Amino acid sequence: MKRSVIIFAVILFFIPVSVISYRVFVLRYPFFPVAFGKIWHVSMEARVVAKEKEIAVEMGLPANYGGRRVMGEKVTSGTLDFNFFNEAPNRFGYWAGRVDIGDSQTISYQASVLVRSRKPREKPPALEPYPAGIEEKEQALAERLVAAWKGLSPPERLHAVANAASGEWGAAPPASSDLQEWAALREKYGPRMAFLILFWAADLPARIVEGLLLDDTITQDFHSWLEVWTGKKWESLSLETGNIYGGPSKLLPLVIGGYPPLIITGGKITEMRWTISHRMQDYWRLHFEHVRGSSRLLDRLSLFHLPAEFQQAFRILLLVPIAALIVSILRNVVGFPTFGIFMPVLMALAFRNTGLYYGLGIFTGIMLLGYLLRLGVDKLQLLLVPRLSMILTFVILALSFAALLGSKFDVKSVMAVGLLPIVILTMTIERFFILIEEAGLREAVRTVLGSAAVASISYWIINQEPIQFIFYFYPELLFGVAGLQLLLGRYTGFRLSEIFRFRELRRPS
């Protein structure tokens, strides 16, 4: 390899290494800006109507506990005073003040909560005694019911008890007299408490949790579930079905231990609304706030200073060079045939609107249609530009027709074709046709498949939010991408496909 190429590449690699080092070690940027986990934006808005001269609202709010981190909190309280108070592991917001009777106040709370997919280790909780009021003979009944499972490991015991809650007692069901008494107990304390009693009897610490389901949703109610200690961690169970919630990242606890999540004195809440959304945007906003406050040159040069409506475009744009790099690798190192360099990249960008499967479907459909059309007009021997224009017109007609069909069957993805791929598709049809003429159908089909594969791989890569974020955060990484592209430009080794092509020439040493 040429010396100058290597020197140039080393310089290109040096730029991101030094800039990122500076950012990390001097400006204290996070080394890996994407936390492993998801950020949820949680916001609550409620209207409180006073019935007395003094009102107070006490509400459970997200706390830094169990792998969750609460950031960027904002509270409004109208004319009321607001305070946080901690009662580990819980944290409450307390709105209070003197008002006129009948007066209504709007209070709100919002925060970003980072939910890591792995929970941190916790100390095992002490096994609590039965709550007061549960009679001895009821305790004895519960203990008789779970006696068969005493020898099981905690997770197995958890499953056995959870199944029992929905009436499945497994291989050795208890005596029918016990079952009758159990039904009476459930009647007396309600299914929740009965459930808890059963866990306590089985020596599994359990607690009721009030909180929110983490889903892109708007809700007016808190959700409650059960947490059971299995010896290593708290497992979350549905109170209704006893099913275990998949993964800890689906729930946001607000109040742990069975306390009410909301207490109002002197008034009532007429409207309360929780809005929960998962947005990558929150990563963006979080760092944006940090960067905006800084006067450092590198911070001022950050892409976070772009107006928000342009940021989205740049998030994608910064990944196009990576897609182009992938194309170079797949073409020059692997030997995938593709139509040009940019066609697969642009296809990948178009797939962002349509989704991969519809995108590939539209691509195939249009290619077939275009090919037939091109075959039809070939006899007419049209000039290049009018010929391409005509195919373009038909591509647009076909896309419009597909959109109409999509609207009829309510498939939005088909309607979402942007302007981008149309011209590219037209050029591709032309090149596909020429390739069939010059190199035969096999080669042409291989090229179509190669292009589709490269487009799919590129699509997958540019759709990775963490990669988008890292490049947006550290755009200097593009110099490194350019360095790789430079090195690939002087790659003179074999393509993997040539191992097959020239297999007859191989000379075993």
Partner 1 sequence: MIFRAIRELREAGVLGMNGRNAGFILTSNARSRYPSADDKVLTKRLALEHQVPTPPLYHVVEHHGDIVGFEERLHEHPEFVLKPARGSGGNGIVLIKDRTKAGFVKQSGEVIPLAEFAYHISGILSGIYSLGGQEDKAIFEALIYPDPVFAAVTHVGVPDIRVIVYRGVPVMGMVRLPTKDSDGKANLHQGAIGAGIEIGSGTTLTAVHRSRVITHHPDTGNQVSGIQVPHWGKMLLMAARAFDMTGLGYLGIDMIIDKDRGPLLLELNARPGLAIQLANRAGLRERLERVEKAPPEVFDKPEARVGWAVETFKNRDA
190 part of the interface to partner 1, by CB under 8 A: no
Q: From the list 150, 434, 464, 465, which residue makes contact with partner 1 (rule: CB under 8 A)?
A: 434
Answer whether 142's CB lies under 8 Å from 118's CB. no
Q: How far is the CB of 439 from partner 1 (least distance, A)?
A: 4
**Separation of alpha carbons 447 and 453, rounded Å:** 10
Q: By C-beta, is 329 or 420 nearer to partner 1?
A: 329
Q: By C-beta, is 71 or 382 nearer to partner 1?
A: 382
Residue 485: CB partners within 8 Å, gap ≥ 6?
A: 321, 324, 325, 328
Answer whether 256's CB lies under 8 Å from 89's CB. yes
Q: How far is the CB of 391 from partner 1 (least distance, A)?
A: 13
Q: How far is the CB of 369 from partner 1 (least distance, A)?
A: 22
One DSSP character per residue, 242-287 reads: -PBPSSGGGEEEEEESS--SEEEESEEEEEEEEEEEE-THHHHHHH
Window of 162-170, 261-269, 307-315, 434-442 that interacts with partner 1 by CB under 8 A: 434-442
Q: How far is the CB of 373 from partner 1 (least distance, A)?
A: 17
Answer whether 435's CB lies under 8 Å from 446's CB. no
Residue 499: CB partners within 8 Å, gap ≥ 6?
A: none
Element containing residue 25 per DSSP (H, E): helix 3-25
Dig out the tokens for 59 from the structure: 């509400």
Q: By C-beta, is 105 or 451 nearer to partner 1?
A: 451
The backbone region for 97, taken as left when phi is positive above 0, alpha when psi lies in -120 to 50, beta otherwise, is left
Q: From the list 129, 151, 376, 508, which residue makes contact with partner 1 (rule: CB under 8 A)?
A: 508
Q: By C-beta, is 278 or 495 nearer to partner 1?
A: 495
Peptide bond connecting 89 to the previous residue in cis, omega within 30 degrees of 0: yes
Calculate the CA 23 to chain-centre distance: 27
Among candidate residues 413, 421, 375, the one with its CA nearest the CA of residue 395: 421
437 part of the interface to partner 1, by CB under 8 A: yes
36 part of the interface to partner 1, by CB under 8 A: no
Q: By C-beta, is 59 or 436 nearer to partner 1?
A: 436
335 part of the interface to partner 1, by CB under 8 A: yes
Single-letter residue type at 211: G
Residues 461-490 that bind partner 1 (CB under 8 A): 489-490
Give the CA radius of gyration of the chain: 32
440 part of the interface to partner 1, by CB under 8 A: yes
Q: How far is the CB of 372 from partner 1 (least distance, A)?
A: 20
Among candidate residues 378, 365, 367, 361, the one with its CA nearest the CA of residue 343: 367
383 part of the interface to partner 1, by CB under 8 A: yes
Dig out the tokens for 498 from the structure: 């040539």
491 part of the interface to partner 1, by CB under 8 A: yes
Q: 3-state SS of 116-144?
A: ECCCCCCCCCCCCCCCCCCCHHHHHHHHH
88 part of the interface to partner 1, by CB under 8 A: no
340 part of the interface to partner 1, by CB under 8 A: no
Q: From the list 132, 171, 384, 419, which residue makes contact with partner 1 (rule: CB under 8 A)?
A: 384
Q: How far is the CB of 402 from partner 1 (least distance, A)?
A: 29
Answer whether 468's CB lies under 8 Å from 456's CB. no
Q: By C-beta, is 121 or 506 nearer to partner 1?
A: 506
Q: How far is the CB of 482 from partner 1 (least distance, A)?
A: 17
Single-letter residue type at 128: E
Q: From the list 88, 126, 297, 505, which residue makes contact with partner 1 (rule: CB under 8 A)?
A: 505
Q: How far is the CB of 497 from partner 1 (least distance, A)?
A: 9
Window of 236-244, 317-325, 362-370, 430-438 that interacts with partner 1 by CB under 8 A: 430-438
**Separation of alpha carbons 228 and 200, rounded Å:** 10
Q: Angle CA(332)–CA(335)–CA(338) in degrees, nearest 5? A: 90
Q: By C-beta, is 380 or 419 nearer to partner 1?
A: 380
**Separation of alpha carbons 29 and 127, rounded Å:** 43
494 part of the interface to partner 1, by CB under 8 A: yes
Interface characters, 343-382, with partner 1 (x: CB under 8 A): --------------------------------------xx
498 part of the interface to partner 1, by CB under 8 A: yes
Q: By C-beta, is 216 or 437 nearer to partner 1?
A: 437
In the sheet that 267-278 helps form, which strands lie side by side, from edge to edge? 68-76, 104-116, 37-50, 267-278, 217-219
Answer whether 46's CB lies under 8 Å from 69's CB. no
499 part of the interface to partner 1, by CB under 8 A: yes
506 part of the interface to partner 1, by CB under 8 A: yes
385 part of the interface to partner 1, by CB under 8 A: yes
Interface characters, 313-332, with partner 1 (x: CB under 8 A): -------------------x
Q: By C-beta, is 84 or 502 nearer to partner 1?
A: 502
User: Which residue spans within 5-103 are E strands per DSSP?
Assistant: 37-50, 54-61, 68-76, 81-87, 90-98
Q: By C-beta, is 165 or 429 nearer to partner 1?
A: 429
Q: Give the footprint of partner 1 on this chain (CB under 8 A).
A: 332, 335, 381-385, 434, 437-440, 443, 489-496, 498-499, 501-509
